[in-house]
């Protein structure tokens, strides 16, 4: 079964520190992976997806098929990065966007 696991419920760092939000997945086939972000009192929005291989707001994520991971990284965290982050995967049938449990990132001044 397809599954996305985010092992950390809460990640707290200081401003300027590096950040890595972990995401592991189980999938049979070629996965389509995404990171969504939900800022306080706002709707979920796409942060980035693995096929585009772009950096958004300083965040990057590399798909590691050997380790079945898609960790989200940023070298220097900012206070405005504080939010809930969800890793997600599209199922092979295309009918589902499967989310992980989410990681709350708190960046302290």
Partner 1 sequence: EAQVTQNPRYLITVTGKKLTVTCSQNMNHEYMSWYRQDPGLGLRQIYYSMNVEVTDKGDVPEGYKVSRKEKRNFPLILESPSPNQTSLYFCASSFRAVNTEAFFGQGTRLTVV
Contacting positions for partner 1 (CB under 8 A): 6, 9, 32, 36, 42-46, 49, 51, 86, 90, 93-102
Please check whether residue 62 is in contact with residue 71, taking contact to mean a CB–CB distance below 8 angstroms.
yes
For partner 1, the closer CB: 7 or 75: 7
Angle, CA of 23, 50 and 69, to the nearest 5° = 25
For partner 1, the closer CB: 38 or 82: 38
Residue 42 CB, shortest distance to partner 1, in Å, is: 8
Residue 20 CB, shortest distance to partner 1, in Å, is: 19
For partner 1, the closer CB: 9 or 109: 9
Measured CA to CA in angstroms, residue 49 lies from 26, 33, 70, 82, 108 at distances of 17, 6, 10, 20, 27
Residue 109 CB, shortest distance to partner 1, in Å, is: 26
For partner 1, the closer CB: 15 or 96: 96
């Amino acid at each position: 079964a397809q599954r996305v696991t985010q092992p950390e419920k809460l990640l707290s760092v200081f401003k300027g520190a590096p950040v890595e939000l972990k995401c592991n997945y189980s999938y049979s086939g070629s996965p389509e992976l995404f990171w969504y972000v939900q800022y306080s009192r706002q709707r979920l929005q796409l942060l980035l997806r693995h096929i585009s291989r772009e950096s958004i707001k300083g965040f990057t994520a590399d798909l590691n098929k050997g380790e079945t991971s898609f960790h989200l990284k940023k070298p220097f965290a900012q206070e405005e990065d504080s939010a809930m982050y969800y890793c997600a995967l599209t199922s092979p049938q295309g009918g589902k966007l499967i989310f992980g449990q989410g990681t709350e990132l708190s960046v302290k001044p």
